Amino acid sequence: MLKLLSVLTFLTLTLPFLTHSFSPDHPTDRRILVLLDDLALKSSHSLFFKSLQSRGFELDFKLADDPKISLQRYGLYSYDALILFSPSVDRFGGSIDLAAILDFVDSGHDLIIAADTNASDLIRQIAVECGVDFDEDPAAVVIDHTSYAVSDTEGDHTVIASDDFIKSDVILGSKKIEAPVLFQGIGHTVNSENSLVLKVLSASPSAYSANPKSKLSNPPSLTGSAISLVSVVQARNNARVLISGSLSLFSNRFFRSKVQKAGSPKKHEKSANEQFLTELSKWVFHERGHLKAVNVRHHKVGEADEPAIYRINDDLEYSVEIYEWHGKSWEPYVADDVQVQFYMMSPYVLKTLSTDQKGSYFTAFKVPDVYGVFQFKVEYQRLGYTSLSLSKQIPVRPFRHNEYERFIPAAYPYYGAAFSMMAGFFIFTVVHLYSK
Amino acid sequence: MATRNLGGFLVLILAIAICEAASVFQPISDSHRSAGSELFTANDGSFGSLEEAYEALRSFEILGIDKKSDIRTATCQSVVDKLGSSSSAPKDLFYALKVNSILKCKVNDKIFEGIAARLKAIANTASSLLDFYHSIGSLVLIKDQSSEVDVLLADAGGIFHSIKSLSQSDGRWRFSSDNPESSTYAAGLALEALSGVVSLASSEIDQSKIGTLKSDILKLFDSVEKYDDGAMYFDEKVVDLRERQSPLSTTASVVRGLTAFAAVTSGNIKVPGDKILGLAKFFLGIGIPGNAKDFFNQVDSLASLESNKVAIPLILSLPATVLSLTKKDRLQVKVNTVLGSSAPPLTVKLVRALSSGSKVASTIESQELKFDRESESHFLDVPKSVDVGNYIFVFEVVLHDSEDEKVYATGGSTQVQIFVTGVIKIENAEIVVLDSDVGSIETQKKLDLAGENSLALSANHLQKLRLSFQLTTPFGNAFKPHQVFLKLRHETKVEHIFVVGKSGKKFEIILDFLGLVEKFYYLSGSYDIQLTVGDAVMENSFFRAIGYIDLDLPEAPEKASRPPTPAIDPYSKYGPKAEISHIFRVPEKRPSQELSLIFLGLVFLPLIGFLVGLLRLGVNLKNFPTSALPATFGILFHVGIAAVLLLYVLFWLKLDLFTTLKWVGLLGVFLLFVGHRILSHQASTSAKLKSA
């Protein structure tokens, strides 16, 4: 009886956990480790945390130098994502260090980093590894004298009202962000050769990154819209990273604050920080923009089964179904730019797939007259979506000896010659034998 | 060591979190009220526990939010249940009574009597601080709620002594006698419990004991920690405890203990007024906490400070620290208590104003602010001598009544950073292209930097570009903004930024293109000119495209560094690729069918010739055997040959090689046999003929 009870408790305790944890079929993160400099952040940034908790995330708050923290136990990760709200930490407690965090991301987990003025070298290093360079001057902050947030109490124009968002519905949601986002912190640049980093929130052309208290003699290293305020990275393994130069971006104070951008007469009752970060965190934690492809099929026209080999010049049909994860269920993905390649060393055929608007994509084409080992390849990379990389190998053979054309009109004289010869031979045998 | 580090960065972080307020602390306002009613939300009229219910009700009470009726029924029910149950722990009773003190539920005096008796027994035998705290706290609450019940402690001195015995030499307390670790949080609880003992004592507590306690409090205040902006707080020294109690709850506990103790004892506790003010600043500096517990701690402590007997902090706040000269803003200063109620009659003095550039010289003489009764604010017109800039104003609060000075803590002088903004005049802006060697002017253009410009200049590498303008403040002084950048932007998005320096009264930059060719990567072509002038106190900061300059630079030498590769546009990078379709091999060209048919006809001509020839020769079949058997063999032989030929036709049409060979083999044997018979017959006939 007791045994049964314990089994039951075990099941009731672990079942919801098992069904909700991260898996390829359920790509949303569940368990998030939040590392804080100070537990007071839990209350000063509670609106952000609450929005995560209300969406079903389990947040585990720890001090960044807590000696007991670790990301793995017995080789398994105990968390699906990590939030670093500890800009000043020089060294994490427990077994977490730079390499551990990079391994965590390399194994497909997500990360949110918030830096701030006086960000520690460790936080800067993590950002550099993600392809983002914060301004090296520790006292520098982003200043903008033409698009700051108008305020009666903050006169140094370091609270920036920015509305230069990336144009991507999948990253920022389909609802337009009307109000500007408040930002106060340090700027960064994204490495131009790194194609995985995207600027989500950029500074205005008049912004610059400098120490507001000292006079400028040299041009600042970061200026204009090259300054990124918030960036995201989607690694090749679809791990997503959010990097912000401001911790107060996430704070209740900015979430609730009224905004008026300098030079604009429009006063917004609420800044867009809440909408911006809610939508962005949906993206980072894989509630949106996660694609999967199933039912990859190909066959000859008029047949249903997948052949083991194609002959050159065969007509074939190719189809694939693509679904997008919507936090709770897989919905058909609708786009008109999915392309398939028929590939051997280089694409021989590259064709845009037609769609039935219900997630199914299909096309038909003729196999090239080159034999060898080909691949059907779908390399689908779109801004904000996880990349799809499908490949299926298929050999292509030439004609068999009996598959060539049989009766060629141009050869009729030859055929005729042979038959007339045969007829002549027959007559000759008769004549030769019996003629007197 | 680790502890010190932790403390260090806690201070740093909180300082960052607080520095937004930059030493201007605002009293509790409406935003607190709306946040409060959002934060404490009851699920269908009841809270998770009575402790939460008390925190919510107490916060509502302090902030003047009327929500009692919504939660009254359900909460009162659980209060009565808890009080009626004989197995309730002192902690549950404590919070039930606290809720009851606000909601005033209907509780029978009999129940109170029963509880009081139990609590007294606990208080007399308790050994842990929390037991003392809860039992004595409950007794105090019963005393307030029911006058009938006898709650007075017979052995108040003894209880006082046993609580005091848990205290440490540095003013902190232990939670129980077998726990060696002392805690600041516990000190607050102990003070509150002791003040309860004093108020419940049936006979006066020995004044000397209270005297030592007062000196303990002063020792405790020696350990107070301080931020740069004047905010002060208590924190646990031990890391383990710190994880359980944040600085906020520790400080709140001490404040509650201190104010409760000050309320029940006569005579002064000599805690300096600025420390009390520092604590008040700490609570206000947090802003609006997002967590119910923190919110309660903040509001409750501020309420305790609001009416304490040690010193009531007065907060000097400025609704606006950015003053615009163009809008003729007046300097407005408010002095309130922490919860925002009005202060006693007082005068606010502006002692001096320091320009942030020069830390010494004061720009204004000492001035008094005028009090406006309606808005309860002190006003001052910005003095004529104050030009645009960044100042530190030093205010002093002087209470009119010298008696008030004992009651209130004003904290002496308060420094506030003030930004005085105004419109900066831009004059004499011009852009000139000069010939390098002689300095003669090639082109000269006037600029109107307030409006749009679209210049079209051209220069080569032997020339210079000079941009100059003057900035003056509304008072005619020269102005030096923080940001004066000239940006040249090539078509390929390569940017070059120059800081425009100040020479004399003018801002001037001379770009000598000869020295810059390398920096420009020898890129000739059109460069956009953009000028950014901005400062925190400049109301008309601008970022303006002036026009473009067409530069003719020499060819790049081989060793010159290449311009940086421009960033890839993320939108175009991800677009679909161009379609590729395979080009199939063209089949070989063939003659037309007609031609083949004509040749087919020609091919049959020899056969026809052969047949005609045979007929002309007069062939006959006279040699065909006449007897039956050889004739049969003869026919079979020719049928066999015809069959082989037919097989060839079939082979051409459909048969494969192996079937054909099989049939050829069979037919071959047959042909051999019949052929041999007919040929030997023919041979014998011809031999007979010859011999005959």
**DSSP H stretches of helix in B459-592:** 513-516, 570-573
Cβ contacts of A337 on chain B, cutoff 8 Å: 575-576
**DSSP H stretches of helix in B19-67:** 30-39, 50-63
Cβ contacts of A424 on chain B, cutoff 8 Å: 606-607, 610
**DSSP H stretches of helix in A261-411:** 273-284
Two domains, one topology: B315-421 and B426-563: yes
Closest partner residue to A426 (CB to CB) among B570, B578, B642 is B642
Nearest-by-CA chain B residue for A192: B567
Q: Do B607 and A424 touch (CB under 8 A)?
A: yes
Closest partner residue to B483 (CB to CB) among A42, A208, A248 is A208
Closest partner residue to A424 (CB to CB) among B24, B418, B610 is B610
Minimal Cα–Cα distance from A166 to chain B, Å? 9
Closest partner residue to A417 (CB to CB) among B603, B634, B648 is B603
Which pLDDT score is estimated for A435?
A: 80
Nearest-by-CA chain B residue for A117: B16
Structure token digits, residue A188: 């960064």
**Average pLDDT in the A27-47 region?**
86
Which pLDDT score is estimated for A207?
A: 92
Q: Exposure string (b/e) for A120-159, b if CB count within 10 Å is 16 or more?
A: bebbbebbeebbbbbbeeeebbbbbbbbbbbbebbbbbbb
Q: How far apart are CA A8 and CA A14, in angstroms?
A: 10
Quick one: what percent of chain A has pLDDT higher than 90? 51
Nearest-by-CA chain A residue for B576: A337
**Average pLDDT in the B439-459 region?**
79
User: Which of B483, B592, B636, B674 to substitute to test the interface with A, most A CBs within 10 Å?
Assistant: B483
**Residue with token string 């209350």:** A43
Minimal Cα–Cα distance from B144 to chain A, Å? 34
Q: Quick check: B21 pLDDT over 60?
A: no
CA distances from residue B614 to A423, B277, B623 in whole angstroms, order as listed? 14, 141, 16
Q: Quick check: B565 pLDDT over 80?
A: no
Give φ, ψ of A181 to 5 degrees. Answer: -100, 135
Q: Do B482 and A212 touch (CB under 8 A)?
A: yes
Q: Residue B210: pLDDT band by 50, 70, 90 thresholds?
A: confident
Q: Quick check: B6 pLDDT over 50?
A: no
Q: Quick check: B22 pLDDT over 60?
A: no
**Residue with token string 């390569």:** B494
Closest partner residue to B597 (CB to CB) among A193, A412, A429 is A412
Residues with Cβ within 8 Å of B244's Cβ and at least 6 positions away in sequence, in order, are: none
Domain layout of chain B by residue ranges: 40-151, 315-421, 426-563, 604-684
Q: How far apart are CA B679 and CA A301, in angstroms?
A: 61
Which pLDDT score is estimated for A115?
A: 93
Q: How far apart are CA B616 and CA A349, in angstroms?
A: 67
**Residue with token string 């002689």:** B438
Which pLDDT score is estimated for B9?
A: 40
Cα of B536 vs its chain's centroid, Å: 24
Using alpha carbons, select from B363, B270, B544 the residue that is nearest to residue A263: B544
B315-421 folds as Immunoglobulin-like (2.60.40)
Q: Quick check: A340 pLDDT over 90?
A: yes
Give φ, ψ of B422 to 5 degrees. Answer: -165, 175
CB B163 within 8 A of CB B194: yes
CB A245 within 8 A of CB A117: no
Structure token digits, residue A25: 């079929």
Q: Do A349 and B22 touch (CB under 8 A)?
A: no
Which is it for strands A310-311 and A388-397: parallel, antiparallel or unpaired?
parallel
Q: Region of B268 please: left (phi>0), alpha (psi -120 to 50) or beta.
A: beta
Q: What is the mean pLDDT of chain B?
A: 83
Is the domain defined by A290-401 classed in CATH 2.30.40.10?
Answer: no
Closest partner residue to A40 (CB to CB) among B14, B421, B623 is B14
Q: What is the mean pLDDT of chain A?
A: 88
Minimal Cα–Cα distance from B319 to chain A, Å? 7
Minimal Cα–Cα distance from B42 to chain A, Å? 17
Greatest mean pLDDT among A73-77, A121-125, B243-247 lies in A121-125
CB neighbours of residue A24 within 10 Å: 8
B671 or B291, which is more confident: B671
Which pLDDT score is estimated for B23?
A: 57
Nearest-by-CA chain A residue for B641: A426
Q: How far apart are CA B243 and CA B254, in angstroms?
A: 17
Which pLDDT score is estimated for A3?
A: 54
CB B341 within 8 A of CB B306: yes
Which pLDDT score is estimated for A422?
A: 93
Which pLDDT score is estimated for A13?
A: 46
Cβ contacts of A155 on chain B, cutoff 8 Å: 321-322, 390, 417-419, 421, 536-537
Q: How far apart are CA B256 and CA B299, in angstroms?
A: 11
Structure token digits, residue A320: 């694939």
Taken as a whole, chain B contains a residue count of 692
Cβ contacts of A396 on chain B, cutoff 8 Å: none
Which pLDDT score is estimated for B622?
A: 83
CB B545 within 8 A of CB B530: yes
Give residue A160's identity as a one-letter amino acid code: I
CA distances from residue A96 to A41, A65, A84, A103, B154 in whole angstroms, order as listed? 20, 9, 12, 10, 58
CB B507 within 8 A of CB B414: no
B426-563 folds as Immunoglobulin-like (2.60.40)
Any B CB within 8 A of A188 CB: no
Which pLDDT score is estimated for B206?
A: 78
Q: How far apart are CA A264 and CA A266, in angstroms?
A: 6
**Residue with token string 């609006």:** B288
Nearest-by-CA chain B residue for A351: B579
Domain layout of chain A by residue ranges: 22-284, 290-401, 405-434
Q: How far apart are CA B527 and CA B218, in angstroms?
A: 70
Using alpha carbons, select from A209, A98, A90 the residue that is nearest to residue A144: A209
Cβ contacts of B593 on chain A, cutoff 8 Å: 409
Cα atoms in the Cβ-side hemisphere of radius 13 Å centred on A130 = 34
Closest partner residue to A412 (CB to CB) among B537, B600, B648 is B600
Minimal Cα–Cα distance from A418 to chain B, Å? 9
Please, what is the angle between helix B156-164 and helix B129-145, to 10°? 140
Using alpha carbons, select from A97, A100, A124 the residue that is nearest to residue A113: A124
CB A278 within 8 A of CB A168: no
Nearest-by-CA chain A residue for B35: A256
Q: Exposure string (b/e) for B296-329, b if CB count within 10 Å is 16 or more?
A: bbbbbbbbbbbebbbbbbbbbbbebbbbbbeeeb
- In degrees, to the nearest 5, what angle opens at C-alpha B528 toward C-alphas B526 and B530? 160
CA distances from residue B205 to A390, A405, B158, B256, B518 in whole angstroms, order as listed? 85, 121, 10, 21, 88
Q: Quick check: A34 pLDDT over 90?
A: yes
How large is the C-alpha radius of gyration of chain B? 53
Q: How far apart are CA A335 and CA A297, in angstroms?
A: 19
Nearest-by-CA chain B residue for A405: B587
Cβ contacts of B1 on chain A, cutoff 8 Å: none
Using alpha carbons, select from A434, A424, A428, A425 the residue that is nearest to residue B621: A434
Which pLDDT score is estimated for B243?
A: 60
Q: Exposure string (b/e) for B431-449, b if CB count within 10 Å is 16 or more?
A: bbbbebeeeeeeeeeebeb
Q: How far apart are CA B648 and CA B475, in angstroms?
A: 118
Instruction: Count interface pairs A-B at CB distance under 8 A.
Output: 266
Q: Residue A326: pLDDT band by 50, 70, 90 thresholds?
A: confident
Using alpha carbons, select from A217, A204, A159, A202 the residue that is nearest to residue A184: A159
Q: Do B13 and A212 touch (CB under 8 A)?
A: no
Q: Do B577 and A248 touch (CB under 8 A)?
A: no
Which is it for strands A240-244 and A110-114: parallel, antiparallel or unpaired?
parallel
CA distances from residue B358 to A198, A416, B390 in whole angstroms, order as listed? 44, 115, 10
Which pLDDT score is estimated for A364?
A: 93
**Average pLDDT in the B79-102 region?**
84
Q: Residue B17: pLDDT band by 50, 70, 90 thresholds?
A: very low
Cβ contacts of B634 on chain A, cutoff 8 Å: 433-434
A residues 93-132 closer than 8 Å to B (CB): 116-118
Greatest mean pLDDT among A231-235, B173-177, B453-457 lies in A231-235
Minimal Cα–Cα distance from B461 to chain A, Å? 23
CB A378 within 8 A of CB A320: yes
Nearest-by-CA chain A residue for B249: A40
Q: Do B610 and A153 touch (CB under 8 A)?
A: no
Cβ contacts of A206 on chain B, cutoff 8 Å: 483, 532, 534, 541-543
User: Which of B291, B562, B617 to substitute to test the interface with A, most A CBs within 10 Å?
Assistant: B291
CB neighbours of residue A336 within 10 Å: 11
Q: How far apart are CA A19 and CA A12, in angstroms?
A: 11
H-helix or E-strand spanning residue A6: helix A2-20
**Average pLDDT in the B598-622 region?**
91
H-helix or E-strand spanning residue A267: strand A267-268
pTM: 0.81
Residues with Cβ within 8 Å of A314's Cβ and at least 6 positions away in sequence, in order, are: A300, A366, A367
Which pLDDT score is estimated for B239?
A: 63
Minimal Cα–Cα distance from B96 to chain A, Å? 26
Q: How far apart are CA B466 and CA B447, in angstroms?
A: 12
Q: Do A192 and B573 touch (CB under 8 A)?
A: no
Q: Do A155 and B421 touch (CB under 8 A)?
A: yes
**Average pLDDT in the B183-210 region?**
84
Residues with Cβ within 8 Å of B591's Cβ and at least 6 positions away in sequence, in order, are: A410
A residues 358-387 closer than 8 Å to B (CB): 365-366, 368-370, 381-383
pLDDT digits (tens, 9 = 90+) for B376-417: 888 888 777 778 888 888 888 888 887 777 788 887 788 888
Q: Quick check: A187 pLDDT over 90?
A: yes
Minimal Cα–Cα distance from A1 to chain B, Å? 31
pLDDT digits (tens, 9 = 90+) for B120-154: 888 888 888 888 888 888 888 888 887 777 778 77
Judging by beta carbons within 10 Å of its beta carbon (0-12, 13-18, 19+), is residue A339 exposed, middle or buried? Answer: buried
Which pLDDT score is estimated for B520?
A: 86
Nearest-by-CA chain B residue for A221: B497
Q: Do B591 and A424 touch (CB under 8 A)?
A: no
CATH superfamily of A22-284: Class I glutamine amidotransferase (GATase) domain (3.40.50.880)
Which pLDDT score is estimated for B155?
A: 79
Give residue A204's identity as a one-letter amino acid code: S
Give φ, ψ of A231 to 5 degrees. Answer: -130, 155
Structure token digits, residue B568: 């890839």
B178 or B520, which is more confident: B520
The DSSP line for A71-113 is SEETTEES-SEEEEE-TT-SS-STT--HHHHHHHHHTT-EEEE
